């Protein structure tokens, strides 16, 4: 039995029999890393609320704010992971009789494990906040996608007396056709029934893509009877109204598609920035652990 064994210091055989991972150091560094990360994220949120202003031409632009947020995210990962890795390397149990390269590898591995555990802890602590952000992004994307499908509907609602096309009953349109008069009589006392009927016809025409000649002729006769204008003038009004409705629908659809595309690009940029920030954090934690290990070895030298 050697003197090393008598002093309680493990020899090479004992060192191989036990784990080389100092979980206490890893967990300690991970907790510190998660705490610093939360602290810096809170500070960044405060800076962000100050920078963004609801007033026009006040505060930073959206693009500048997005770039600043990505840079701050990288700084958060770099500082928090580096500090956690340094603490893990400094607190790791020193093993004697190991080659310097093996010591450096173990320190680096402890730093990387500290970053991994810290990332898991941070994700758990930020689960509610992350779900709120992701949920908000998902609702934004769903709203933008839904607005693409409802663009024509909204325009038709505006043109057809704000009818709800989702609840439009085709049988009501058919019933109106059955009771159409060849020469609609003017009803100056109450024009609401005629307006409602014309609204249903226009709504159905917008849904189908265009107004049939029979519907156009009938609507023109109703408008002529109600307003006193000629049949050709009434038909011209219908043509102009349908054209404006289609133009409004096209603009609304284009705006909705642009909004959805902006949301998609923002989500992709945020995901890429998160990946880069986490990669920086992993490298910072690994290198910080080697620095902590060197400082530890100098103290024990």
Least confident of 22-31, 183-192, 201-210, 274-283: 183-192
Mean pLDDT, to the nearest integer, of 237-242?
82
Reported confidence tier of residue 56, pLDDT bands at 50, 70, 90: low
Distance CA 182, CA 160 (A): 22
Q: What is the mean pLDDT of the chain?
A: 75
pLDDT at 146: 52
Query: Measured between alpha carbons, how far apart are the two ends of the chain, in Å?
Result: 25
**Which residue has tokens 């100056």?**
188
Reported confidence tier of residue 33, pLDDT bands at 50, 70, 90: very high
Q: Show the tokens assigned to 256.
A: 């909705």
Distance CA 153, CA 159 (A): 10
Q: Show the tokens assigned to 268.
A: 């992709």
Mean pLDDT, to the nearest integer, of 191-206?
78
| Overall pTM > 0.75 | no
Residue 185 carries which DSSP code?
Answer: P
Q: Is the backbone of residue 59 left (phi > 0), alpha (psi -120 to 50) or beta?
A: left
The count of residues in the chain is 301
**Which residue has tokens 């600043």?**
68
Mean pLDDT, to the nearest integer, of 165-182?
57
More confident residue, 216 or 159: 216
Q: Which residues contact 99 (CB under 8 A, 6 or more apart)?
A: none
Do residues 248 and 231 lie in contact, with contact meaning Cβ atoms separated by under 8 Å? no
Q: Is the pLDDT confidence value at 277 over 60?
A: yes
Q: How far, in Å, are 5, 94, 189, 296, 297 from residue 301 at the CA level?
A: 20, 11, 104, 9, 6
pLDDT at 42: 85
Distance CA 6, CA 220 (A): 109
Distance CA 287, CA 82 (A): 7
182 three-state secondary structure: coil
The pairs formed by 220-226 with CB atoms below 8 angstroms and a separation of 24 or more are 221/183, 221/184, 222/184, 222/194, 222/197, 222/198, 223/198, 225/183, 225/184, 225/185, 225/186, 225/194, 226/186, 226/187, 226/188, 226/191, 226/194
pLDDT at 111: 93
């Amino acid at each position: 039995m050697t003197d090393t064994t008598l002093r309680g210091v493990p020899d090479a055989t004992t060192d191989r029999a036990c784990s080389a991972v100092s979980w206490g150091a890893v967990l300690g560094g991970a907790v510190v890393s998660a705490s610093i990360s939360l602290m810096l994220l809170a500070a960044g949120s405060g800076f962000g609320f100050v920078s963004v202003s609801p007033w026009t031409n006040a505060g930073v632009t959206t693009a500048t704010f997005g770039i600043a947020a990505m840079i701050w995210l990288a700084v958060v990962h770099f500082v928090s992971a580096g500090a956690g890795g340094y603490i893990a390397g400094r607190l790791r149990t020193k093993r004697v009789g190991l080659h310097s390269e093996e010591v450096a590898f173990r320190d680096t591995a402890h730093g990387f494990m500290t970053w991994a555990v810290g990332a898991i802890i941070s994700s758990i602590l930020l689960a509610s906040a992350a779900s709120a952000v992701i949920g908000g992004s998902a609702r934004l994307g769903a709203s933008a996608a839904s607005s693409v499908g409802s663009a024509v509907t909204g325009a038709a609602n505006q043109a057809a007396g704000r009818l709800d096309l989702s609840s439009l009953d085709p049988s009501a349109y058919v019933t109106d056709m059955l009771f159409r008069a060849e020469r609609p009589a003017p009803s100056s006392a109450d024009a609401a029934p005629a307006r409602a009927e014309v609204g249903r016809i226009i709504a159905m025409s917008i849904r189908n893509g265009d107004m049939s000649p029979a519907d156009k002729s009938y609507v023109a006769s109703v408008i002529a009877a109600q307003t006193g204008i000629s049949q050709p003038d009434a038909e011209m009004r219908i043509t102009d109204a349908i054209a404006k409705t289609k133009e409004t629908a096209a603009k609304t659809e284009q705006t909705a598609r642009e909004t959805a595309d902006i949301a998609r690009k923002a989500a992709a940029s945020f995901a890429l920035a998160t990946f880069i920030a986490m990669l920086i954090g992993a490298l910072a934690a690994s290198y910080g652990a080697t620095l902590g290990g060197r400082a530890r070895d100098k103290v024990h030298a």
